[in-house]
Structure 1
């Protein structure tokens, strides 16, 4: 199952490399697009949830890496204290086909 890394730029110009165990995340996030912070969080929750379910369907268990990545993103958003209307840029999405 190909995994995906998506690099984001936060409203404070910091950057993160994020992980999804499935390419399904590309149905939720588009490279080069900016999303309002809460919209980004919603899309990531949905996308990583779907990715984890794909792992469950294939291997019989959910993906702890997807859950960990979501927790990290949620913590970044909570600690970021970003102004209303701030956006997150999905700078790059790359597949890692192992």
Structure 2
């Protein structure tokens, strides 16, 4: 499976490098686009779940790294309250 990385900028200006085991993230996020925090998190939940499910379909088990990435995003997102925006800086 082709893994990808995407870099985001949180509302406080901090950047974070993120991981997905699948290119499915490109269906939900676009580099250079800013999303309201709630929308960004909803997109990440679906994208990383689909990515982990694709790994499961291929190898018989979910991708724990994708699940851990989502957990990290969830924890980091809790530091901000709406209205707040997250920018997807790049997807490679």
* TM-score normalised over the length of structure 1: 0.91
User: Is the 2:40–2:86 contact (alpha carbons within 8 Å) kept by the matching residues of 1?
Assistant: yes
Distance 1:31 1:62 in 2: 26
Distance 1:74 1:60 in 2: 25
Q: Let me know the Cα RMSD of the aligned residues.
A: 0.7
Distance 2:7 2:62 in 1: 23
Distance 2:56 2:6 in 1: 21
Q: Deviations over 1:38-61 (max 9, x none)?
A: 110000000000000100111111
Equivalence map 1:10-29=2 (5 Å): 10-29=10-29
Distance 2:62 2:11 in 1: 31
5+ residue gaps, structure 1? none
SS in 2 for 1:49: helix
Equivalence map 1:49-88=2 (5 Å): 49-78=49-78, 80-82=79-81, 84-88=82-86
5+ residue gaps, structure 2? none
Q: 4+ residue runs of structure 1 moved beyond 4 angstroms?
A: none
Q: How many residues align?
A: 92
